[in-house]
Amino acid sequence: MIAERMRHNLQVSATSTMMKIVPHWSWRLVSRDYPAIMCFMTAPEATPPRALWLRDGGRVLLDLSGEWRRGGTEPVIEGEAGDRLPEAYVTDGLGTFDSTLPAFLLAMIRRMEAAEPPLEGLPPNLHGLMELALAVPEEIEARGEPEESTPIKVLGAASMNVWAGVRSINEFTGQSMLSLGRFMAGRARFRPRDFWMIVEDCGAKALPIVSLISFLIGLILAFVGNVQLANFGASLYVADLVGIAMVREMGVVMTAIIMSGRTGAAFAAHLGSMKANQEIDALRTFGFDPFDFLVLPRMLALVLMMPLLTVYSNIIGILGGMLVGAAVGIPPILYWNETLSIVTLENAFLGVFKSVFFGIVIAMCGCLQGMHAGNSSAAVGLATTRAVVASISAIIVLDSAFAAIFTILDI
């Protein structure tokens, strides 16, 4: 027994000595050579926070225990008190605490909306903190509760959004016109190399997808037309149907939709990424007008390429219809002569004329959404989606307006 006590005292003495002379980085060596010492050097684990509701006769008590510290475990709430606050607190098992415990109690008191809550049984320091916190009235605005939505508020919010959109479009259109005016006067500054790269992207690199879609559209028109016209023995007029439909409507509209999803989205994504990376702000800092340097070359390139792509789309669509005509027994030379007889220069010019306005709309929608995008990758994706939706919608509306005007003018 005496030897056991002497060995214990020796271990305690060695522990205190090693705590003083062994640095922190040497504890691993100590644990390897003196495992008995490490058991004295290990700190006890913190007791998890706990709140237990009790009933003592007719009284409601709240037993607080454990270590209430920020970053620790979640407090364990046991029991129910209903809509009553505790009349007293039991803190015999309460350990150390920081602001976590006062915040817990204050939230409970605020939820019950009690004017003078009892604080009996709390430690003096916690009692003083709670009195100080309860002395400050709560601001209702700080709760962050959602506002009640009414039809008037919804209508007002929608009206404000529409007004902001119209104002943004008008402002962007005005700045684009001023930039075009500076270009006509020879005062617009942008790199010719960037302009020709955009022309290549809008023109030559768009030919494969335009060829595929236009060819398939010509095939579809010819198939559908032949099914109906063959009943009357007028299969030759498939050439008239395909030729008129392609040069007046389908060629220019399908080309515009393709360029909206391909080039308009690319404009929005590129400019949106530049805005998110603050490259547009850097251009302004160096004295460059972003509209002259970024928007103007894209708009000029697309307006220049859209008529050429429209003419190319018309030719490919007619060739697709000719292939179907050859399959149903119409000689290609007869099909071609019939197409030339029905497609006049006036009809061919209508589609090319509309393509100029469609190019302006696509470029403006893409650049507008890109310049007004947010400063995050998610905002760039949203701007790209909005650019495609806005440009396609504007193309359909504008084409409907042109159709009504041409009908009124009997063109």
Give the Cα-Cα-Cα angle 346, 343, 325 (nearest 5 degrees). 160
Neighbouring C-beta atoms of residue 329, cutoff 10 Å: 10
CA 202 – CA 267 distance, rounded (Å):
11
DSSP annotation of 75: P
φ, ψ for residue 6 (rounded to 5)? Answer: -65, -40
The one-letter amino acid at 378:
A
- Predicted local distance difference test score (pLDDT) of residue 387: 92
Q: Token digits for 350?
A: 């209508």
CA 173 – CA 168 distance, rounded (Å):
9
User: How many angstroms separate the Cα of 334 from the Cα of each of 2, 79, 153, 218, 238?
Assistant: 124, 93, 65, 17, 11
**Which burial class, exposed, middle or buried, applies to 42 when counting CB atoms under 10 A from its CB (0-12, 13-18, 19+)?**
exposed
Query: Around 37, how many Cα atoms within 13 Å sit in the side-chain half-sphere?
Result: 19
Cα-trace Rg, the chain? 39
- Predicted local distance difference test score (pLDDT) of residue 287: 83
Q: For the chain, how far is it from start to end, CA to CA, in angstroms? A: 119
| Residues near 18 by beta carbon (within 8 Å), at least 6 away in sequence | 30, 34, 37, 41
- Predicted local distance difference test score (pLDDT) of residue 404: 92
- Predicted local distance difference test score (pLDDT) of residue 51: 84
CA 249 – CA 9 distance, rounded (Å):
101
Q: Token digits for 201?
A: 């992207």
DSSP annotation of 83: T
CA 265 – CA 365 distance, rounded (Å):
9
The one-letter amino acid at 215:
F
What is the DSSP annotation of 109-143? HHHHT-SS---TT--HHHHHHHHHHHTSPPPGGGG
Q: Where are the domains of the chain?
A: 50-135, 180-408
Sign of the four-CA dihedral 293, 295, 298, 304: negative
- Predicted local distance difference test score (pLDDT) of residue 106: 80
- Predicted local distance difference test score (pLDDT) of residue 145: 56
- Predicted local distance difference test score (pLDDT) of residue 344: 87
φ, ψ for residue 60 (rounded to 5)? Answer: -110, 125
**What is the residue-level pLDDT of the chain in tens, covering all 411 positions?**
444 444 444 343 444 444 443 444 343 434 444 444 443 344 455 688 888 888 777 778 888 888 888 877 788 888 776 667 888 888 888 888 888 888 888 888 877 766 677 788 888 888 777 787 777 766 555 455 556 678 888 888 889 988 988 898 898 888 888 988 888 888 888 888 889 999 999 989 999 999 999 999 999 999 999 998 888 888 889 999 999 999 999 999 999 999 999 999 999 999 999 988 888 888 888 888 888 888 999 999 999 999 999 999 999 999 999 999 999 889 999 999 999 999 988 888 999 999 999 999 999 999 999 888 888 888 888 999 999 999 999 999 999 999 999 989 888
- Predicted local distance difference test score (pLDDT) of residue 9: 44
Cβ(313)–Cβ(254) under 8 Å?
A: yes
φ, ψ for residue 406 (rounded to 5)? Answer: -65, -35
CA 92 – CA 311 distance, rounded (Å):
90
Closest of 35, 27, 32 to residue 11, by C-alpha:
35
Q: Token digits for 228?
A: 């109906």
| Residues near 137 by beta carbon (within 8 Å), at least 6 away in sequence | none
Sign of the four-CA dihedral 35, 40, 42, 44: positive
- Predicted local distance difference test score (pLDDT) of residue 360: 93
Q: Is 90 helix (H, G, I), strand (E, B) or coil?
A: strand
